[in-house]
Amino acid sequence: ADRAPINDVLQILAARSGLNIVTSPEVQGREISIHLRNTPFEEALNLVVRASGLGYERVGHSILVADLERLAVETGRMTRVFPLQHASAPDVAQMLTVLGPDVAANRDGNRVVMRGTQSVLEEAERIIAELDRKPRQVQLLARLVEVNTTALLELGVNWEKLTRWTTIVTEGPIVSSRADALPTDLGYTLLDETHDFYRQREAFEVALEALVTDGTARILSSTKIVTLDGKPAEIFAGETVPVIITSLQAPGAAGGVLQSIQLEKIDVGVRLDITPRITDDGYITALVRPEVSRIIGFVGPDNDLPQTSTRRAATLVRVRDGQKIYLGGLQTEQQRRTVKKVPLLGHIPLLGYLFSHTRNETLRLDLLIEITPLIVTDEGAPPDAGE
């Protein structure tokens, strides 16, 4: 409608909503041009009133529409400032818009300014008390271990079989693979008796430490970080490779070709992104995203641009506070050449190859990720797992 009396528009809204709309004398004679389609009542009313420079207040089953100053006197609207300790003012202000449009965020002082009736401000205070809480923290103990897949098979770990079987993992000793010998609170699914597979966690950890000690496994990173509940944390173990990119541009004023050189950086190695979230029952739900990348060659006109190979995975796990998480299966291959020579004789020019032996082999490596999430209490950081 074009130049429609605002009273007529409000009557149409009242008829469709089933609410009573009462207007003050200063509303008379005002006109508005409006075209709305499939608009909810609250949104339509807000648009009509604000476009006319008016305000409204809901009182029971009725809505009072009046001039802003008169509305403040009639309804007792007031302005209040809410200082925040932990929550972000823009985020809180956005959530408070459900109570009314008169809310703003002060970024510098991290405060929320709101105008409304006493009941609206009391409801805003209750909501802010729920939102402005000290965020909980999670300490993450993470180890990235690179281990030979042959050594893992000797430990009884086969990731391909683990993807097809339901595993049974226990804290204490198992004297039998029969169901009556297993703890009843594990929530396990018993496998076929010909395919029983289980590995005691403590025995696995001891064997893994032995592999690290004798050099079969290599610790790429051992990190302890703290992050807020629901906020991501990142661990990177690798190197940053600089890449120089040269490009030719349009000829310059003197007829020469302009050359542009740009330096970019590529991260190559192991990256681990973890987003923990503490649930109300004290468990920790963690979104874990490991990524392994390496340079497999060089391309480009001058063969100076690195070509990388990347493997990614993502998993969502739920564990108790302090319970370890093991992830594996991100495998890579490396070509290794070993040369053995007889002392002195193997270094004789031309004849040395007769007293030496060269062995080329493909080494398959598996990235084993160990994560221990710990809830940080107000007393401080928890002790490391195992202390």
Q: What is the mean pLDDT of residues 277-294?
A: 89
Position 367 confidence tier, pLDDT thresholds 50, 70, 90:
confident
Does 230 lie in the same domain as 116? no
Residue 384 has pLDDT above 70, yes or no: no
pLDDT on residue 66: 85
Q: Give the CA distances from residue 297 to residues 95, 345, 375, in Å, rounded to whole numbers and listed in that order.
A: 51, 36, 43
Mean pLDDT of the chain: 77
- Using CA atoms, how far apart are residues 366 and 151, in angstroms rounded to an integer? 10
Strand partners, 336: 361
Cα(260)–Cα(96) distance, integer angstroms? 50
Domain that holds residue 365: 138-157+199-239+267-376
Residues 52 and 99 in one domain: no
DSSP strand pairing (111-116 vs 325-341): unpaired
Predicted pLDDT of residue 278: 93
In a domain, 311, yes or no: yes
pLDDT for 375 equals: 93
Residue that wins the pLDDT comparison between 138 and 54: 138
Give pLDDT, residue 128. 93
The secondary structure of residue 347, as a DSSP letter, is: G
- C-alpha 299/C-alpha 305 separation (Å) is 5
On whether residue 222 sits in a domain, the answer given is yes
The count of structural domains within the chain is 3
Of the residues 73, 96, 113, the one at which a domain ends? 73
What mean pLDDT is predicted for residues 102-109?
86
Q: Percent of the chain, pLDDT > 90?
A: 16
At 55 the pLDDT is: 80
State mean pLDDT over 248-274: 74
Please report, as a single letter, which amino acid is at residue 136.
R
The answer, yes or no, to whether residue 11 has pLDDT greater than 50, is yes
117 shares its domain with 231: no
Quote the pLDDT of residue 92: 92
Same domain? 45 vs 126 = no
Position 196 scores a pLDDT of 36
Mean pLDDT of 378-382: 61
Q: Residues 207-228: what's their mean pLDDT?
A: 83
pLDDT band per the 50, 70, 90 thresholds, residue 226: very high
> pLDDT at residue 93 above 80?
yes
Does residue 168 belong to any structural domain of this protein?
no
pLDDT tens digits, residue range 70-79? 777 766 777 8
pTM exceeding the 0.85 threshold for the entire prediction: no
Confidence of residue 383 (pLDDT cuts 50, 70, 90): low
Q: Which residue has the higher pLDDT, 255 or 373?
A: 373
Are 21 and 114 in the same domain?
no
Residue 165, in any domain of the structure: no
Output the DSSP codes for 359-376. EEEEEEEEEEEEEEEEEE
Confidence of residue 164 (pLDDT cuts 50, 70, 90): very low
pLDDT in tens, 297-346: 877 777 777 888 888 888 888 989 988 888 877 777 766 677 777 787 77
Q: Is the pLDDT of residue 163 over 60?
A: no
Asked which of 73, 102, 120 is the last residue of a domain, the reply is 73
DSSP run (H or E) holding 210: helix 201-213
Q: Could you read off the pLDDT of 139-158 as tens digits, one per residue?
A: 999 988 888 777 766 666 65
Predicted confidence band at 265 (pLDDT cuts at 50, 70, 90)? confident
Residues 83 and 69 in one domain: no
- What pLDDT shows up at residue 155? 63
**Which two structure tokens, joined as six digits, stand for 202?**
């403590």
**Residue 314 and residue 344 in one domain:** yes
**pLDDT at 69 exceeding the cut of 70:** yes
Task: Assess if residue 188 is contained within a domain.
Answer: no
pLDDT value for 169: 39
